[in-house]
Structure 1
Amino acid sequence: MTRREARRYGADLVTAVSPGPRLTRGTHVGYAMGSIGTAAFGTVPGLLLLYYLTDVLGVAAGIAGLVVFLPKAWDVVLNPWIGSRSDRTQSRWGPRRPWMLAGGLTLPLLFVLVFAGPGAPPGLAAVWVAVTFLLAATAYGCFQVPYVAQPAEITDDPGERSTLMSWRVAALALGILLAGAGAPAVVDAFGDGRSGYLAMAVFVAVLLALGMLGAVAGTRRAPTLTRVRSEGRLGATLRLAWASRPFRVLLVGFVVQALGIGVMLAGVPYYSRQVLGDEAAGTLLFGALVGPAILVMPLWLRVSRRLGKRTGLLAASALFVAGAALLVVVPSGGTAVALPLVVLVGLGYAGMQMFPLSMLPDVIAADEGSSGERRAGVFTGVWTAAETLGLAIGPGLLGLLLAVAGYVSSTGDVVVAQSDPAVLAVRLGFSVLPALFVLASLPVLARYRLEPADQETIRA
């Protein structure tokens, strides 16, 4: 960007800085802790909120799907704005950590409030959840957007970024396992009604606070390497970010995959009860989905170094498709058959999380090197908004599918016998539909590549 263009967009140019030292192990671990918080908020609402609305509060499935979807849709507007503002933030804490602190302090309380509202009538309960979930999504955006932007600007070394991402994804897998398996277990321990879900919310709030505030403290000594500070009008920088072909291709493929993941996560409790006939099997399914991620991460990291990140992402996605598609033939009550297939899905899911997260900083660094502009916040604002929207649309689609199939909502401990079409909708929503979304992402992601000049920029 020229100085004339900078003045036009209200940008403020500063002098480049030289690359900083390698990150310490404390910074690796400290940064990774934030993913425990993002995993908790990214997983639990998609896993339990739709079911809480339909089978605890008695909200109709179609309305419940909208309640889950609309607050997340707000992130499409909010997150790019947060990214742009954090790009321009100046403080002794750096541009990102003040925003991260604000989100880390407010989100835990707001998350508890989502499950602390009235239980009746269903309309009032739905409004309470929608409003508090909207506020929680806003607080989450304040943390998530600058958090995702950090790796592109705290180190110029792509190898260092890969190491940072490997720590982050390992923590992400741990967070998903703790929140995804722990949350349903807490609900079961305290009863399946509102009291159980409130206890679960307190448990998740602790994870949120530990992870997010831990990342704020853990990155306090991380450098901020900035070539140019050049963020002006949000609309102009959004267009410039979208003009990056590697970013555009990676984003579209990632969002399509998020749709499939969102549908599958929301389907876990329904599949456990209606197909496997055991509500407690949801904890086993979720453990089988995310547990392998911790063990398989070194394998995916080796694939990344030997075959490349794009090849690794395509291979991981293919494993997910195969495992998810086969789940449709699991017989009623067939938990023992379902678990190995969910483990296969989990192996693919681990790679589908790791590779895009390690590719995004490369794209941002390449853009910064070629343009001379710092717009990591805008890139990650668009990225997190699209990801959140995809994960929110997933449960909404499942709610719509259940509504069309005639799924009957219930309250408290009331057990409703569902029709055959409703059970079929549950089965398809947990297997075929996620597989089709991820399958559709493969031709898009196959087009991803950084041009040689861009890769030289990253290594520079």
Structure 2
Amino acid sequence: MSDTSSGLPARLATSTKAGFGLGQVAGQLFRDAPSLLLMFYLTNVMGIAPAIAGTAIFVPKVVFGAIFDLWIGVASDRMASRFPRRRWLLVGGIAAPFAMLGVFAVPEAAIGFQVAWVFVTFSAYMAVYSTFSVPYLAQFAEMSSDPVERTELMGWKHGFTGLGVLMSSSVAPMAINALGTDRNAHLLTMGSIGVLCFTCLFVAWRFASRIPEPAQVAKAFALRDLPRAFADRRFAVLCLSAVIMTVAAGISYASFPFFVKYAMAREEPLHDIGVMSAIMAFAVMAGSPLWVMISKRLGKKRTYVAAAAGHGLVTLVWGYLPDAPIEVAYLLAALMAACNAGWGTIVLSLLSDAIAGARLDYGENRAGSYAAIWSIIEKAGIALGGTLVVGAILSSFGFDSAAAKAGLPQSSAALAGIIVSYSTIPGVAKLIAAAIIWRFVHERPADAPNNADIIHA
């Protein structure tokens, strides 16, 4: 049975939802694997100074990533009648193994050539990432005319996000550790991840072919709408908090391997990272529905503040306990991930409230513009924190890449810099983000005409 106005089926088969949702595993692997491992690999295996390595990653990830996202979004809209959106998944899937392997295939050569290699291959990597990630996300809004079913589709997507986190942040580092932690271990693991990405995107493409294309093509995203989007104070406040949170998350994420290896002095850091990442992944999946229930009792603002502040406090505490037993680290990892599930879930709910408020106040549907801006903030914030900021902090505290490559210990100043990078700066930043939401977000009463939050700036 189909919706005659849109050409879309009224209900999708469960196998179709699951098959298309599997594509999210590729998106998560592309986002998380380099964020966690690339900086550590370039400094500890290839011997590149952290500030130089961070710069080589930053420009492709932030500048080119934003350009590619916008270009692919516009192109996939304009070409939809001639080149169905699902075909972008196949294009990205075919290129995925080469993109994933190329970034880590840094040759043994002069530093200048190595940096150029990272810059070029990571630029290509971001282009491939945009090729499938933007059309994939856009398709969720086009697969069904039933808003309830679209929510179910996002549920499948969220479930496969957890699987992607397990593969990228747990299985991948543990595999590298088991294979010897050298250059070949990274290449074999990343090549395998690339093949897995192709498989997931191929399956998603096949199942997407079961779904009729929408009768009406969405209007292309217009860059001229950006200034008016930021004139919406509700959205601007959320963007400010998101910038702080994502930069902090990027700093902490990229610093994690350094913290485990040097501050915690673990002999097999990648193995331990794999175990802790698995704990985090399960805590995120289990914590999300719990925070939804809490928000019904406390309200969104209080729930966000509690989760974000809790995340910041756990991060700060962990920095003071690097020598604690590994079981304490496991507990802290679970608490941190549970809090992450809270603020991550609620901030997206606040974003949807801002979109609904803009529709009421301005008579415009700004969902696409707001979502595109939000995506760029997330990518740019994580990239800024995980490359330039981490590289600058570690270098300023005297982290020695040559000593790291030779397996020698770091100085006490370098260890202090690692703790500042992993714990102090991200912890304080998350508390600041919580304070911004506490100060500027005010929820309307439940019986108000519009239940969207009011945000004063």
Range class of TM-score, shorter chain: 0.7 to 0.9
State the partner residue of 1:341: 332
TM superposition score normalised by structure 1: 0.84
State the partner residue of 2:98: 109
State the partner residue of 2:67: 77
State the partner residue of 2:170: 181
Any conservation in 2 of the 1:112–1:202 contact (CA below 8 Å)? Answer: yes
SS for the counterpart of 1:58 is coil
Per-residue Cα deviation, 1:35-54 (whole angstroms, up to 9, x for no partner): 21121111111111111111
Give 1:121's match in structure 2, choosing from 90, 110, 124.
110
Identity of aligned residues (%): 31
Any conservation in 2 of the 1:325–1:432 contact (CA below 8 Å)? Answer: yes
Q: 1:387 and 2:378 equivalent?
A: yes
Change (3 A) 1:212 1:18: closer
Change (3 A) 1:225 1:411: farther
Any conservation in 2 of the 1:82–1:377 contact (CA below 8 Å)? Answer: no
Any conservation in 2 of the 1:83–1:377 contact (CA below 8 Å)? Answer: no
Distance 2:347 2:300 in 1: 8
SS for the counterpart of 1:120 is coil
Distance 2:248 2:420 in 1: 12
**What's the CA shift for 1:122?**
2.8
Per-residue Cα deviation, 1:130-159 (whole angstroms, up to 9, x for no partner): 210111011101222232333444456554
State the partner residue of 1:5: none
Any conservation in 2 of the 1:313–1:356 contact (CA below 8 Å)? Answer: yes
Q: 1:261 and 2:252 equivalent?
A: no
Change (3 A) 1:211 1:367: farther
Give 1:402's match in structure 2, choosing from 371, 375, 394.
394
Per-residue Cα deviation, 1:329-372 (whole angstroms, up to 9, x for no partner): 11436423222111100111223444445665666577679878
Q: Which moved more, 1:223-232 or 1:341-350?
A: 223-232
Distance 1:28 1:165 in 2: 9
Per-residue Cα deviation, 1:281-329 (whole angstroms, up to 9, x for no partner): 2223322332312333332343456656555443332331121111011
Question: Partner amino acid for 1:59?
Answer: I
Q: Which moved more, 1:73-82 or 1:53-62?
A: 73-82
Give the number of the structure with larger relative contact order, counting CA–CA contacts within 8 Å between residues 6 or more apart: 1
Distance 2:255 2:352 in 1: 32
SS for the counterpart of 2:46 is coil
1:9-408 matched pairs, under 5 angstroms: 21-73=10-62, 74-91=64-81, 94=84, 96-155=85-144, 159-222=148-211, 229-231=218-220, 234-278=222-266, 279=269, 280-303=271-294, 311-332=302-323, 334-357=325-348, 377-396=368-387, 397-408=389-400
State the partner residue of 1:426: 418
Change (3 A) 1:218 1:313: farther
**What's the CA shift for 1:93?**
6.9
Distance 1:258 1:196 in 2: 30
State the partner residue of 2:427: 435
SS for the counterpart of 1:317 is helix
Change (3 A) 1:101 1:345: same
**What's the CA shift for 1:264?**
1.5
Any conservation in 1 of the 2:90–2:202 contact (CA below 8 Å)? Answer: yes
Any conservation in 1 of the 2:96–2:195 contact (CA below 8 Å)? Answer: no
Any conservation in 2 of the 1:229–1:373 contact (CA below 8 Å)? Answer: no
Any conservation in 1 of the 2:80–2:217 contact (CA below 8 Å)? Answer: no
**What's the CA shift for 1:109?**
1.6
Distance 2:285 2:206 in 1: 24
Question: Partner amino acid for 1:255?
Answer: V
Any conservation in 2 of the 1:229–1:374 contact (CA below 8 Å)? Answer: no
TM superposition score normalised by structure 2: 0.84
Q: Which moved more, 1:45-54 or 1:71-80?
A: 71-80
Distance 2:403 2:299 in 1: 50
**What's the CA shift for 1:373?**
7.1
Question: Partner amino acid for 2:275?
Answer: L
Distance 2:136 2:109 in 1: 38
Provide the aligned C-alpha RMSD in A.
3.3
Change (3 A) 1:229 1:422: same
Per-residue Cα deviation, 1:4-37 (whole angstroms, up to 9, x for no partner): xxxxxxxxxxx98599735543343234323211
**What's the CA shift for 1:426?**
0.8
**What's the CA shift for 1:261?**
1.5
Change (3 A) 1:352 1:207: farther
Change (3 A) 1:31 1:309: farther
Any conservation in 2 of the 1:231–1:375 contact (CA below 8 Å)? Answer: no
Q: Which moved more, 1:143-152 or 1:52-61?
A: 143-152
Distance 2:47 2:226 in 1: 41
Any conservation in 1 of the 2:304–2:434 contact (CA below 8 Å)? Answer: no
**What's the CA shift for 1:378?**
4.2
State the partner residue of 2:455: none
Q: Which moved more, 1:299-308 or 1:322-331?
A: 299-308
Question: Partner amino acid for 1:392?
Answer: A
Structure 2 gaps, min length 5: 453-457
**What's the CA shift for 1:418?**
0.9
Change (3 A) 1:282 1:352: same
- Count how many residue pairs are aligned between Structure 1 and Structure 2: 440
**What's the CA shift for 1:195?**
0.4
